[in-house]
Amino acid sequence: MVSRSPTYRLLAGLLVTLLAVGVYSGYTIVQLRSLRSLQTDTIDRNRLDSLLLLRIQNSLNSLALDMRDMLDTDVADTARYPLTAWQPQFRRIRADLEDALAREERVAAAQSDPGQRRYLADSFRQFWASLDRVFDIAASGHADEARVQIRNSLQARQAALSTDVARLLVANNQSEQTAALRTQELYSGAERNVYVFLAAMLVVVVVTGLYLVQYVRRLFGQLAELSEQRRELAQQLITSQESTFRSISRELHDEFGQILTAIGAILWRADRRATREGIAPTEDLREVREIVQATLGKVRSLSQALHPSVLDEAGLESALAAYLPGFERRTGVRVAYEKTGTNHELDREAAIHLYRIVQEALNNVVRHAKSTQAAVRLRFDTAALVVEVEDDGVGYPKALTGDSPGSHGLGLVSMRERADLANGTVEFVESRNGGALVRATIPYRLTETHAAD
């Protein structure tokens, strides 16, 4: 019994595979987007924020150096460079700091603590307010008091601001390390998912391949079983056909042949009696005798055509030698018969199959080849008997070259079946002169084994 088609199972497997690919692709896209967002929103932003914080830190260090220089100025230098002379330098540093702070606040706005940012901004405002008061005191002529304010207030505030900025840098570094770890996790997860996906696809491919191999093996097993059944059926049909031909041939030869022979004998005696009595035989009597003789000849020819007795008595070579002259008379096709090699006796079944192959090939010459001559070659090789039937007609149609029976119908199929039943092969090829060539090859050892069976 032929199993159901695997189409639905294969389609289901394909659907599952496509679904797995879709899920994996979607998950991978999400991971890639997370990685891109992490790199853009965290790592790159932290890096830029750290650069801005370093810029702020450098400006604060410049403030510290300038305030130290203001405090270290001696009396002579103070006369030439009063504290108010430092005011443009501090304005420049302040402008640079405010620009850096504004940029840093925009960069870190999405990930910073608002309270910490407000505290830093208030600290800077208080520092600039204190600095402005120091310059106002210095401008009013109280340079020593201004230095005291610098020493007691401004330097402490600058140190606090440097500490806050350093704390922000540390936080940025920690955030960047966390982002780097997260990036590594994403990369590791993506790599792991690739391996899992490849393993799953490999399993799907292996399972599908094994299923297809098993299904194809079952199909080939069923085809082999059907082929064997077909071979057995063909053998039974051909055996039954040969048995029927042999039975009809025997009936024609024994029954009808004897009846016609008896009728002919009776007519012959009647003719002789009429001659002795001086009575002239009638023309009708002579005509009946001729008809009986002609009918007897046709019955014997038909009996030989159905199953030549010489095939059982003298073998294939003698049967072909007896068949070919009659074929020439009936069809008008001249047949050149040639035998080479030492005669090798075949079993009866193989001889019958080869004889029928020659018959069918010659009939095809009459029906299809449009040729008036043919050649039959019987060659006894060392390992096999080769029979060839060749003509110089129109040859085979293009669709027939090779193994396909083409449009010639069951005749070539029958030849192929008979060759197969004799454990041999048959070929349908184009002859050297453009006609058709049928070549049947039957190995001796197989025919001997067949005969022993």
- Specify whether 324 is located in the same domain as 201: no
Adjacent-strand bridge partners of 380: 385
- Specify whether 24 is located in the same domain as 148: yes
Quick: pLDDT tens for 40-80: 666 777 788 888 888 888 988 988 898 888 887 654 455 55
Q: Which two structure tokens, joined as six digits, stand for 144?
A: 């020593």
Decide: helix, strand or coil at residue 245. Answer: helix
For the chain, give the mean pLDDT.
78
Residue 227 forms part of a structural domain = no
Residue 232 forms part of a structural domain = no
Pick the last residue of a domain from 184, 212, 240: 212
Residue 236 forms part of a structural domain = no
Indicate if the pLDDT at residue 453 is higher than 60. Answer: no
Task: Write b or e for each residue in 112-142: b if 16 or more Cβ atoms lie within 10 A of its Cβ, otherwise e.
Answer: beeeebeebeeebeebeebbeebbebbeeee
Residue 271 forms part of a structural domain = no
Q: How many domains does the chain have?
A: 2
Residues 150 and 82: their CA atoms lie apart, in Å, by 14
Residue 202 forms part of a structural domain = yes
Residue 307 forms part of a structural domain = no
Q: Where are the beta strands (DSSP E) in 119-242?
A: none
Pick the last residue of a domain from 178, 212, 246: 212
Residue 328 forms part of a structural domain = yes
CATH number at residue 374: 3.30.565.10
Q: Which is nearest to 330 in space by CA: 356, 363, 284?
A: 363
Pick the last residue of a domain from 153, 188, 212: 212
Which stretch, 11-20, 130-139, 204-213, has highest mean pLDDT? 130-139
Residues 160 and 142: their CA atoms lie apart, in Å, by 26
What one-character DSSP code corresponds to residue 399? G
**What's the domain range around 178?**
7-212
- Specify whether 141 is located in the same domain as 21: yes
Q: What is the DSSP string of 288-343?
A: HHHHHHHHHHHHHHHHHHHS-HHHHHH-HHHHHHHHHHHHHHHH--EEEEEEES--
- Specify whether 445 is located in the same domain as 329: yes
Quick: pLDDT tens for 19-40: 877 777 777 777 777 777 666 6
Indicate if the pLDDT at residue 413 is higher than 50. Answer: yes
Indicate if the pLDDT at residue 278 is higher than 70. Answer: no
* pLDDT at 1 (0 to 100): 43
Residue 293 forms part of a structural domain = no
